[in-house]
Structure 1
């Protein structure tokens, strides 16, 4: 009898060791998986009930019940400090973008709030960069009132995405969907914490895809809607290819979930179009297929690893078609090919028209940007370009940051594009009438001064007509960027004429 008891005890201990070893191995394997792979393992082991919406009269009750516990309230604490670029909430992009007055020197509030989406049961949460970028402390509150302090794993303003984490396990999460399969007219739900309210669900449809609204590379003040000119598009590092929806989204929804009727996450809510700062019919969400890659990069590297095609381009429009004699309506006109870049190695030249990426038609900037942004340096991508009326397919191997152009000045490692972005301003060509009025032969007008840029810091104001940059006449955005390539010792030399006054010359240091 003792012998049987000893054998049974040994078997139990052996089984426990085997199970424990398997669990340890499983956890180690999970650590090396992408968030999408981790979810597939989870849902394979915990299939639950399939969430379906009825046809005819929509019924979102199951989808709302499944998603709401995985959408969290993010409360941010910031040390009170002077606002470099204006007051109002520095937290919610909705306020900055859609008409809330900003006043220089106004103290920033100590707290702000937004939303986030749990994408892993061990506490990883995806949200917007603008939700957490200035946070000194981040607190996450679940729908069941549990509270956790969170830390930032990674964030990037060019995508307006961030990944934060709380120290907990067994948390509810939202199932990742496939934003490529989203159809215009499809029912969707927006879930978040708007206007200081608790968890809120609203319904609407997808009204457009691949929207570029210029909000990430052109912060605005006092405007109802933000966009950017074709010339500015090609110098921006920001990636915008929003899903547009008429589901009600307001301040505080930032970072929340946009889900389909099956309760699958298809987007991260980020902005609204409104003349008042509150809902007026259109909301914008970052497609989840783009967000998946970005948050995986955050988890693995702490930052985004971007692959670059190595071209600057302009969307084809009527003006460009007339100027260059282009017959194509869609596509991207290659302005310049960077030396040593992937495009140069593949034989693409200035004047070519990029027409397809992986066989998909390129209608505009978002079609190329979003697809390439999902890839890393070393990944291959098939591009189709047109030259002399004939299309050709080429395979490019994307390159990383090292392939971005550098200035000729050995004392400065910043490219002309990086300097341009650091200046923090938008420019438009001065009209002939304005030039004649001021008695100048060249000039671009400072149309916007962005928060946090060098121009804002040193008090350069809108309306200034800049005639020369680093001693070179400028008449367009391209001229400005080209002239910035001559920057020496991190100082940009500017000659200009204020709205009222005589010609002035001043130096703008890039380091201060």
Structure 2
């Protein structure tokens, strides 16, 4: 009993000491450690959890998937069954079916797609996401931009995708590709914008300006939609570059501003109206840089001015370097051609140039680009101004802008002025069209022209 009483007293004493010590320490100020002024810190932004920062594609997919359609192209060709049909024509009709995608852009059924999706079609069918099938009418095409416009009719309003502004897209921005690869309808893939103003045709004289993305695009995606996370149309998926024919990491789309301008021209004029500055462009090489005192490596070098053009009247000069169009940066020719591809003749464009180290901004009125492809000769020609004809000592003619085939390209005919075809005077491209359409296709073509050295020559194409 005495032992138990002693243990109780010891426990009571120890508890009293512990409680007293705690109260004493509680009254003391707590110690905090502040960083010294000599410490270095890496600034960090923390705005939320990973879940809060993740991008949600479901809304954009829901907005767009019902407005992307499956386009079926049925072409009919004749297969010769004997030697006589092989040489004289005819044979057994044979239907071939191709497919791609399209985008409904208005509630009354206008559909934008690629020209190569519907090329040579005898019959066009469009299938919506709800499996409804329509016969489609071809409204118009523009092979140079690979854009075509279709129309379907329905009593009810159709789902559609509104256009976004492709000039304002940014590298690294999330995008969705919506289409029908390998006949798999309503397929959505995601990626980012990898590059802008990508030119895939820099060696064939027909510059393009594509949006490059790493969203998966395969056969059948052509003509489908490239949309941003708000569900706005910023491009028409058009091409891939691949050794296998399938997606390998990047694909290309026609910017929506360019596609929209093409279809608006088709609806209003029946063809595409192209506006140009009226300049010849060149590369900035060491010789050019030394001659004109150019230190910049970015921009478009003005190698020449078309007399009487908007650039000429606005005061742009040979040797200028174009740095901006309407405030948008121009690093290379694809930037310039891509931006002008969304403009029309008579539009005013603010052109910022670098000249002798000074920056100038000039208002340029675009002129109409009028060209005609002489497929039988492998040449493209365009109208020439009266000032340029006078400078060359001529009264009439059209100028060759580029060769259409490698065989003709070897003759270096760019810049020659064709004055006669089959001894008929050529005043403009309308004369060229008339002569080429009315000629006997079995006879040679005689072309009279002035070369760049000022000599008159004649070629006979057989």
Instruction: Give the structure-1-normalised TM-score.
Output: 0.62
Structure 1 CA distance for aligned equivalents of residues 248 and 169 of structure 2? 23
State the Cα deviation string for residues 477-505 of structure 1 (Å, max 9, x = none). Answer: xx4313465775354699xxxxxxxxxx9
Selected match of 1:134 from 94, 117, 120: 120
Q: Structure with the greater relative contact order (CA < 8 A, sep ≥ 6): 1 or 2?
A: 1
Structure 2 CA distance for aligned equivalents of residues 81 and 319 of structure 1? 57
Aligned to 1:481, the other structure's residue is in SS state: coil
Are 2:144 and 1:158 equivalent residues in the alignment? Answer: yes
Are 2:333 and 1:373 equivalent residues in the alignment? Answer: no
Structure 1 CA distance for aligned equivalents of residues 299 and 95 of structure 2? 45
What is the root-mean-square deviation of aligned Cα atoms in Å? 3.1
Contact 1:239 1:373 in 2 (8 A): no
Structure 1 CA distance for aligned equivalents of residues 256 and 168 of structure 2? 11
Unaligned runs of 5+ in 2: 1-50, 80-92, 372-381, 423-444, 450-457
Unaligned runs of 5+ in 1: 1-53, 83-106, 215-226, 427-445, 447-454, 456-464, 470-478, 495-504
State the Cα deviation string for residues 275-321 of structure 1 (Å, max 9, x = none). Answer: 11110001011111222222211222221112121112124356754
Q: State how 1:348-497 maps to structure 2 within 5 Å.
A: 348-401=316-369, 404-406=382-384, 414-417=398-401, 420-421=402-403, 424-426=404-406, 466=410, 469=411, 479-483=412-416, 485=418, 488-489=421-422, 491=446
Contact 1:315 1:332 in 2 (8 A): yes
Query: How has the CA–CA distance of structure 1 residues 333 and 203 changed in structure 2, closer, same or farther, with 3 Å as cutoff?
Result: same
Q: State how 1:98-247 maps to structure 2 within 5 Å.
A: 110-168=96-154, 169-214=156-201, 227-228=202-203, 236=205, 238-247=206-215
Contact 1:484 1:492 in 2 (8 A): no
Query: How has the CA–CA distance of structure 1 residues 199 and 319 changed in structure 2, closer, same or farther, with 3 Å as cutoff?
Result: farther
Structure 1 CA distance for aligned equivalents of residues 395 and 308 of structure 2? 21
Aligned to 1:480, the other structure's residue is in SS state: coil
Higher strand share: 2
Aligned to 2:139, the other structure's residue is in SS state: strand
Structure 1 CA distance for aligned equivalents of residues 290 and 405 of structure 2? 29
Contact 1:243 1:285 in 2 (8 A): yes
Are 2:291 and 1:311 equivalent residues in the alignment? Answer: no
Query: How has the CA–CA distance of structure 1 residues 343 and 242 changed in structure 2, closer, same or farther, with 3 Å as cutoff?
Result: same
Aligned to 2:63, the other structure's residue is in SS state: helix
Shift of 1:507: 3.7
Structure 1 CA distance for aligned equivalents of residues 238 and 396 of structure 2? 35
Q: Tell me how many residue pairs correspond in the alignment.
A: 352
Query: How has the CA–CA distance of structure 1 residues 385 and 57 changed in structure 2, closer, same or farther, with 3 Å as cutoff?
Result: closer
Are 2:216 and 1:248 equivalent residues in the alignment? Answer: yes
Shift of 1:323: 7.3
Shift of 1:181: 2.7
Are 2:228 and 1:260 equivalent residues in the alignment? Answer: yes
Structure 1 CA distance for aligned equivalents of residues 95 and 419 of structure 2? 41
Instruction: Give the structure-2-normalised TM-score.
Output: 0.69
Aligned to 1:78, the other structure's residue is in SS state: strand
Structure 2 CA distance for aligned equivalents of residues 198 and 318 of structure 1? 52
Aligned to 2:71, the other structure's residue is in SS state: strand
State the Cα deviation string for residues 193-247 of structure 1 (Å, max 9, x = none). Answer: 1122222111111111111111xxxxxxxxxxxx52xxx6xxx4x4522111111
Aligned to 1:378, the other structure's residue is in SS state: coil
Contact 2:294 2:356 in 1 (8 A): no
Structure 1 CA distance for aligned equivalents of residues 271 and 384 of structure 2? 21
Higher Cα radius of gyration: 2
Query: How has the CA–CA distance of structure 1 residues 351 and 405 changed in structure 2, closer, same or farther, with 3 Å as cutoff?
Result: farther
Shift of 1:411: 12
State the Cα deviation string for residues 135-159 of structure 1 (Å, max 9, x = none). Answer: 2221111111111111122211221
Shift of 1:58: 3.3
Are 2:268 and 1:300 equivalent residues in the alignment? Answer: yes
